[in-house]
Structure formats: C-alpha cells, structure tokens
Structure 1
Amino acid sequence: MRVTTEAVIGAVTGSLTAPRTLLLGRYDLAGRLQYAGRSTTLSQAVSCALVGVLAPPMGAHPWEGWTFSAGWGTQRTLEVVLVEPEVVIEVAVDVARNSAGRFRHPARPHRIRTDVGVAQVPLFGEAPASP
C-alpha cells in the first residue's frame, strides 16, 4: 500500500542544474537528519522545478562523509551532491520500512512543499498515516 508523506531533500544524484534522483531524510528525536530513502528517477517537470530551489550546503552537512549504496546487493556507491536540507517534498511511499526504519522501496516524488517547513515533516521512523 502506498501513501503520501513529506521528506526533506538532503542530496541529489546528477547535479543541482539537472537532478536525477533525490536522497530523502527525516529528522530524529535528537534533531539529526537521518537518511530515509531514495526517490525514483525524477520526471522532467519535477527536475526542472527543483532547479533554483536546491542550494549547496551553507555549512557542514549532516551527511558529509557518508556513502550511499547504489542498490541492493551491489558494492557500488552513488555519486551524490549534498544540498542544504531546507526543501520539503511530498512523496508517495510504500508503508513498508526496512530494519533501519528507511523506506523499503523508492519514493515517488509528487510536488515541492513550499508551504511546509522541515520542522513539520514527520520524524524519522514515524509511519505515514494510512489513507
């Protein structure tokens, strides 16, 4: 079952001028941005909408020095561009989570939520509401 929820964009694959996928996060109870999962490949419309909205980190990024796997069963790591974690996006996600509390399947981006601040995004590990 899929539901929609919000997540913070912490990094992208591709570039800031042509993002291909999003690395999504949510803050935990201690205020740390935790990696929650990755999106499917962005549509051209969503990719274009993010250009000019995403910005490089203004200081130390919570994911600096982290590596992200390219997928299940692979040793390959993703090349990512860290972004200032201030943009919220609505995504459709499967309600299933892995043992680490991350989205089990890629999230499908819907729309940028300029009306929602990062503090309003559900906490890491919090289950999205059922439809």
Structure 2
Amino acid sequence: MPDRITLTGLRVFGRHGVFEHEKRDGQEFVVDIVAWLDLAPAAASDDLTQTLHYGELAQLAADIVGGEPYDLIESVAGRIADEVLKDSRLSAVEVTVHKPSAPIPLNFADVAVTVHRGRA
C-alpha cells in the first residue's frame, strides 16, 4: 500500500437529508478523507507541488458539503471521492461523512457512511 494523507474532523454546515426540515434548517457534517499516493517525490524534493495539498483537499470537500443539497450522505461521500480521485497521482481515496445530528429519535453518538474508490 502506498503512502497516504489523512484529513479528519472537517466540520462543515450543509443541507443534506431526505426530510424537508433537514434541507431547510441544515446541520453540521463531519468529513474524514484518506488519500493514497506515493509521497516519495514530495519527501525527496520538499516541494508542495509533488504532493496533495491538504488545504485544497479540505476546501474541495467543504465546497461539496456546503453546496448542492443531496438526500443521502452516500451521495455526498461519493461526490467527494470522485472529485478527489480526479488527481491522477492518487491510487485510492476513502471518504467518511458523519451526520451526528441525524433525525433518529434514539440516543446515538454518530451516523456515518464511508465510500472507497480506487483505480481499476
């Protein structure tokens, strides 16, 4: 397995859910991303252009979560993964979208969906 860059706990306000009040009122979502790629070129050169810029990674995910509403967090996670994997240096990406305020009438800590996308 190649090297990886991990971004955890990115908190973004979004309007995703199947219920009208979720789209109307919105809520906070939490995103974790793991991107697999060879970091040897960046380590050897100390050059930011040789790696995945994690600030840009965070902004990409934030733009998707804060953008167009989806019914399912599966769709949100899949869209983030597909966009991140457009970087041809990556061999795979894993995205977890947490919905800690999901409308479940029971006591729970978190609901999350994780998608994994890789090169064929």
Give the greater-gyration-radius structure (CA).
2
Alignment TM-score, normalising by the size of structure 1: 0.24
Higher relative contact order (CA 8 A, sep 6+): 1
Q: Whose helix proportion is higher, 1 or 2?
A: 2
Alignment TM-score, normalising by the size of structure 2: 0.26
